[in-house]
Structure 1
Amino acid sequence: MYMIKKASEISGVSVRMLHYYDEIGLLSPQKSENGYRYYTEAEMACLQVILFYKYLGFSLKQIKFLMTKDDIEILNHLKKQLILMKKENENRLTLIETLQKTIDYEERKITMSTKEKFRGFVYQDHQKYKEMAIDKYGKDVVEKSMEKQKGKEQELTEKFNQIFALFAENKVKGLKTTSKENIELSQRLHDLICQYSFDCSFEVFSSIGYGYKENPEFKTNIDRFGMGTAEYACDAIQKYVNGVK
């Protein structure tokens, strides 16, 4: 068993945050007669799972809900997250290779095709979009629509890359997010999701737009096209959505 200070040292979670987890019922350790908190091996294992979910971008409210599931369900969910993380890691390795080629190109003027410049910029993480759509349309409808992507992943990736590259270019040009060019780009992006993924309502598309700037993973990826591109694209999407309502 571990006293709270030791649990904090091992996990890297501050004592204050461990107290907060206890207060909100996320992780409540054992308590001795004098009120001292101490953590069993099982509770330390739970803390590890919480940290995994936090790293993956889940809110404490979402994590608390997930932790109410039985062990088998949590394990299956973690396995799915592991698969996604492995895919992300593959993308990062590709990005590293692309970045190295870019540096070589700039330093030694080594030839690099336009297509090579955008290898690794992947925006086909539709699992999060899919979950939003399931809430609105139901699992059967969404599962059928996801079939449309099979065999077209690379084509979809390149189309997404083109759109975000154009958003970044418009930002550099000083175009307002409300400009005609950006509204048209937002429509292209919306049509792309509808064509390759699911029948995306304006409401869901608006949520996706906010996800671009609020989800750290999405924001980091999109901002590789140019700092601030994620927020810029989000603002354009909201203008597009509000304009067609």
Structure 2
Amino acid sequence: MLGGMYMYLIKKVSEISGVSVRTLHHYDEIGLLSPRKNEHGYRYYTEEDLSYLQTILFYKYLGFTLKEIKGLLKQDESEILPHLKRQLILMKEEKQRILTLIDTLEKTIESQERRITMPTKEKFKGLIFQDNQKYRQAAIDMYGKAVIESAIEKQKGKEQELTAGFNEIFFAFADNKSHQLEADSIENIALAKRLHDHLCKYSFDCPVSTFKDIGYNYVQNEEFKEQLDQFGEGTAQYVCDAIVEYVNKNI
């Protein structure tokens, strides 16, 4: 203790938090969480530092990068409480998603054991398109912050309708793929048009040439590809091929 304040050396912090000493050194190097020095030159962490470390770990769990976390913590260095309240909301959303995934997994096991065909939509409950932080950052990297922020503003109050529309379209693509329809079939070209119209209505006025780029990005960008392939392996490529065919017919 120092003047009534608890001091934790780096090894003890590592034991308490489960974060390696090497990682704590890295946090120090990038200015995310730096220990203090006492009069003898020993580096130590305080209870407040441990609270910051907890906040960092919650943000990491929620998919934020270290760079993003550093920016978030700098917004109001004196207050951890707003971050904790925000994290609680995000964690409750994550909890609901996990409960949905557990329910989906239980139903899948039951259908396998009883040899019952599970409806396509039931298979993917919890494994659906969602506007998570990683997906949003990937969109910003590709289309620019101004375009994405404008789209977010346009979507306010319509998030559920937006997501439901994407899921319905991507489920339909996955269902067509499972029935071995060609990606460039009439049915899939019609779905590509629905997707294009949905983007224009809820995101931004998307020219067909840009829509084609979006189709390619569904495959080339790992974040987009991972999202779509949750509907079934190869869905991203399948949707991309349908979009390209749709665009080629409308240029």
Determine the C-alpha separation between the residues in 2 that align with 1:58 and 1:50.
Answer: 9
Percent of residue pairs identical: 46
Count matched residues: 233
Structure ranking higher in helix proportion: 1
Is 2:24 the counterpart of 1:18?
yes
For residues 147-158 of structure 1, what are the structure 2 equivalents within 5 Å? Answer: 147-149=157-159, 152=161, 155-156=164-165, 158=167
Q: Deviations over 1:140-186 (max 9, x none)?
A: 77434434445x3674254254156269x48x97x9xxx757x9577
Which consecutive aligned stretches of 4+ in structure 1 deviate over 6 angstroms post-superposition?
Answer: 233-240
Is 2:116 the counterpart of 1:106?
no
Are the equivalent residues in 1 in contact too, given 2:174–2:231 (CA < 8 A)? yes
- Amino acid of the residue matched to residue 22 of structure 1? D
Determine the C-alpha separation between the residues in 1 that align with 2:239 and 2:43.
Answer: 44
From the superposition, tell whether residues 82 and 214 of structure 1 become closer, same or farther in structure 2 (CA, over 3 Å): same
For residue 4 of structure 2, what is the aligned residue in structure 1?
Answer: none
For residue 168 of structure 2, what is the aligned residue in structure 1?
Answer: 159
From the superposition, tell whether residues 58 and 18 of structure 1 become closer, same or farther in structure 2 (CA, over 3 Å): same
Determine the C-alpha separation between the residues in 2 that align with 1:234 and 1:77.
Answer: 38
Is 2:207 the counterpart of 1:198?
no
Are the equivalent residues in 2 in contact too, given 1:209–1:237 (CA < 8 A)? no
For residue 58 of structure 1, what is the aligned residue in structure 2?
Answer: 64
Is 2:125 the counterpart of 1:88?
no
From the superposition, tell whether residues 43 and 205 of structure 1 become closer, same or farther in structure 2 (CA, over 3 Å): farther
Give unpaired runs (5+ residues) of structure 1. Answer: none
- Return the match for 2:146 from 132, 136, 139: 136
Determine the C-alpha separation between the residues in 2 that align with 1:186 and 1:34.
Answer: 67
- Return the match for 2:10 from 4, 27, 34: 4
Q: Secondary structure at the match of 1:67?
A: helix
Is 2:135 the counterpart of 1:125?
no
Determine the C-alpha separation between the residues in 1 that align with 2:64 and 2:219.
Answer: 15
From the superposition, tell whether residues 15 and 118 of structure 1 become closer, same or farther in structure 2 (CA, over 3 Å): closer
So what's the TM-score if we normalise by structure 2? Answer: 0.67
So what's the TM-score if we normalise by structure 1? Answer: 0.68
- Amino acid of the residue matched to residue 153 of structure 2? E
Q: Secondary structure at the match of 1:119?
A: coil
From the superposition, tell whether residues 20 and 134 of structure 1 become closer, same or farther in structure 2 (CA, over 3 Å): same
Determine the C-alpha separation between the residues in 1 that align with 2:14 and 2:243.
Answer: 42
Determine the C-alpha separation between the residues in 2 that align with 1:211 and 1:80.
Answer: 32
Structure (1 or 2) with the larger CA radius of gyration = 2
Determine the C-alpha separation between the residues in 1 that align with 2:121 and 2:148.
Answer: 37
